Structure 1
Amino acid sequence: MDLLNLDDRLTEDQRLVRDTAQGFVRDHVLPDVATWFEEGTFPARELGPVLGSLGMLGMHLSGYGCAGLDATSYGVACRELEAGDSGLRSFVSVQGSLAMFPIWKYGSAELKEEWLPALAAGTAIGCFGLTEPDHGSDPANMKTFAKQDPSGDWILNGSKMWITNGSVADVAVVWAQTDGGIRGFVVPTSSPGFSAPLIHRKLSLRASVTSSLYFDDVRVPASSVLDVVGLKGPLSCLSEARFGILWGVVGAGRACFEAALEYAKTRVQFGKPIAGFQLTQEKLAWMAVALGQAGLTALHLGALKDAGVLRPQQVSFGKLANVRAALDVAREARSVLGANGVTLEYPVIRHMNNLESVLTYEGTQEIHTLVLGEALTGVAAYR
């Protein structure tokens, strides 16, 4: 079904990562994910150590128990994990790219030793606090504030929203305004004044823990502050995570395509399988084209990242193009399955609903469009 034979371009090690992630999804996710989605649950504590034992958490980082693999390997893993469910890939992305990466890149030696080995093993869970109830696409105007008192400790007050892993996390990387600019703080979730209630009644990413974070005079030591000032810190983390997304959604789209193709071959109407009708073949052909183009984009951006020359605007290109392609494939696949496409007996409606969230989080479609517009024209239209 890979008409372009894209996986022929993977190295032997990258194929091993692919096969390992596929095996994990087959054995630990697919038997139960529809139930998790229906019930609105995700067994983070159970799956975390298994993912850690496979080297899937912070796999693109080096040292501290991390696998130290290349960027393309990380992308391939995200693709296979999201073929299981976007919530699963979100868990891994948040753990590795949004919680571990800022500690690895900007944290002190003590913070790295304290948190990275446990996060890599999956025995500790992390989350990332940037988005606020009134400041999603405009994080520069966040209201969460941290002030240093005479003892040297920092006191955090404010709130965050739509935080993956928040209610199950052991540590939160929190971004806050200070008198000297935006700073990042490594906050143990056991800290007095910290709370993380679940967000309920979601109809997307249901197999994922989504929470609000509240800080009521949360006190952290000066040693918890990350060594970066301004939006450079959180945006560098988001570029890491968005890279995983642009790979991951190819897996979600592929799962929908495979379900539609198999269904079309076996669903008989008017005396023959619907795969034999021209309108159905047209749908399948365009789905294959969209996934092939998205896969090529992911491979190219992976090569650029491995070469150390990937730019944030190129990540925006991939996130914008590939999420849109995957969502279009999911919707087309849903139409092939007809009424069966809206049930959890098939993965399509689950992936389709999830992709509606992926379209929005870590940069909306509109924001990534404007990032590309600025790259082309030199004019920042969102300012």
Structure 2
Amino acid sequence: MTKLDSILHEYTKSHVIRYANRFDSRVHFDRSLIKTATSLGLLEKIFTNSRNSPEGLHALAISTEEVSKYCGNTRNFFLVSCGMFGKTLERYQGENDYLNNVYSQIKIGGAIGSVAYTETGGNTNPKSLKTHLSKIADGSFILYGHKTWITLGGIADFFLVTCLYEGELAIAVVPSLAKGIKIDLIDSLAGNRGSALADITFDKVILDKNQILPTICSESSWPAFEWIFSVGRVYAASSAIGLTKSCISMCFDRLNSRHSLGKKFIENQIWQQELAKANSQLRAVEAIRNVALDYLGNNKYVFLNSDCTIAKNLGAEIAIQSSQLNLKAHGAFGYLENEEPNRLLREALSFEFIEGSSLVLNKKIFSQLVGNLIVNKGNK
């Protein structure tokens, strides 16, 4: 892991921190970040030779956490392209030559993957999907539909598209240059402007059966769908952890440098209590995130969604709380648009809805709790 730490230090210091403001002001993600990550050997740590290895999952978590301290756009590349797209293909590619080829491009930094699941109106409920596949006489498929708010959608080489086929959930891998795809960039964002969010229309896109993601469950694609979101949630939690660490550190430095009535702000007991509380919550989320990573690596579906969901949900809370605390510590200076406290707050607020809104996650956690209580009562 020491090697990974040194790679991340070089990557963030020389290629992320210096250009974070520039990355945040653009509509397009800077592909040089991928080339650099590849040349430093960072992607080799994430995509190991061992299929879906725990080491690779943890390396990706640490990488996502580290870059999240400095730049949300860079974070989104690791979270979406490496995590939700790359790790899904790593798990499900099997003997499929097409998926193997796409995965090979992702793992060496030769391509960017994007996950297209949000429908018009912001709906992510798979039971309400309107994007759909239809089979035609020659055995091929036709894809119709519209997706919105797709992270990296404006620059992706491949999309992982959730859709319906004969009333059942299906997931397809679609090249962005396929005939019938229209991509419109969304350039009115308050934060993460360099993540190249886009609206995507699929109009009579022809797909081969090899482009349909195989599943580990013969009945439906639900396990694959749950896997994608579980991966997204655990890395969203990692991102929230990184941002929270940055906020706490920045807040401490500011309080340590400001004075009032002859003493430093940091000497005030109220501020000390607030920082202690933030740090305690941070450690709790880290612990849950690490448990979730272990379950992901060991395919323990009984616990998978619960811990990934809780980690992401609590991660969003501590990211927002710590960014607000940091803003208060900086006073009026913190509200300046181009200063770090303001940027961190904008990025923290996005954790409320990425990879499942907090409202949806709370309902999911409650449902699991009720289910466990009913089972336990039935066993008595």
Query: Same fold, TM exceeding 0.5?
Result: yes
* Aligned residue number for residue 294 of structure 1: 285
Q: Structure 2 CA distance, aligned partners of 1:99 and 1:300?
A: 22
- Kindly, what percent of the aligned residue pairs are identical? 19
Deviates more, 1:109-118 or 1:139-148: 109-118
Counterpart CA distance in 1 for 2:250 and 2:28 is 23
Partners of 1:255 and 1:169 in 2: how far apart?
A: 29
Which of 157, 161, 186 is the equivalent residue of 2:144? 157
* Deviating more after overlay: 370-379 vs 153-162: 370-379
| Structure 2 residue aligned with 1:106 | 92
- Residue aligning to 1:53: 39
Conserved in 2, the CA contact under 8 Å of 1:171 and 1:186?
A: yes
Aligned length, in residue pairs: 365
Match of 2:354 among 349, 358, 361: 361
Q: Secondary structure at the match of 1:313?
A: helix
Structure 1 counterpart of 2:244, one-letter code? G
* TM-aligned CA distance change 1:65 to 1:88, over 3 Å: farther
After TM superposition, give the deviation of residue 66 of structure 1 in Å: 9.2
Q: CA deviation at 1:319?
A: 0.8
Q: Deviations over 1:63-103 (max 9, x none)?
A: 49999734333222221121122322221121122222333
Please give the secondary structure, in 1, of the residue aligned with 2:123.
coil
Conserved in 2, the CA contact under 8 Å of 1:64 and 1:116? Answer: no
User: Aligned partners of 1:323 and 1:131: how far apart in 2?
Assistant: 20
* 2:275 counterpart residue number: 284
CA contact (8 A) 1:137 1:367 kept: no
Query: Is 1:87 equivalent to 2:78 in the alignment?
Result: no
Give per-residue Cα distances to partners, 1:141-200, cap 9 Å, x unaligned: 100111111122211111111111111011111111111522111111111111221112
Contact 1:196 1:211 in 2 (8 A): yes
Cα distance, 1:219–1:204 mapped onto 2, change above 3 Å: same
| Distance in 2 separating the partners of 1:301 and 1:233 | 17
Gaps of 5+ in 1: 1-12
1:139 paired to 2:126: yes
Normalization by structure 1: what TM-score?
Answer: 0.87
Match of residue 323 from structure 2: 330
**C-alpha distance in 1 between matches for 2:52 and 2:37:** 12
Q: Is the 8 A contact 1:259 1:346 kept in 2?
A: no
State how far apart, in whole Å, the 1-side matches of 2:51 and 2:182 are: 29
Going from structure 1 to structure 2, the CA distance change for 1:281 and 1:89 (only over 3 Å counts) comes to same
Larger RCO of the pair (alpha carbons < 8 Å, separation 6+): 1
Indicate conservation of the 8 Å contact 2:320/2:345, yes or no: yes
Q: Which residue of 2 aligns with 1:9?
A: none
Shift of 1:257: 1.0
Cα distance between partner residues in 2 of 1:120 and 1:64: 13
Is the contact between residue 99 and residue 211 of structure 2 (CA under 8 Å) also seen in structure 1?
no
Q: Is the 8 A contact 1:174 1:187 kept in 2?
A: yes
Give the whole-Å Cα distance in 2 for the aligned partners of 1:58 and 1:280: 42
> Match of 1:230, as an amino acid?
S
C-alpha root-mean-square deviation of aligned residues, in Å?
2.4
Which whole-Å CA distance do the structure 1 matches of 2:299 and 2:6 have between them? 26
Distance 2:82 2:100 in 1: 15
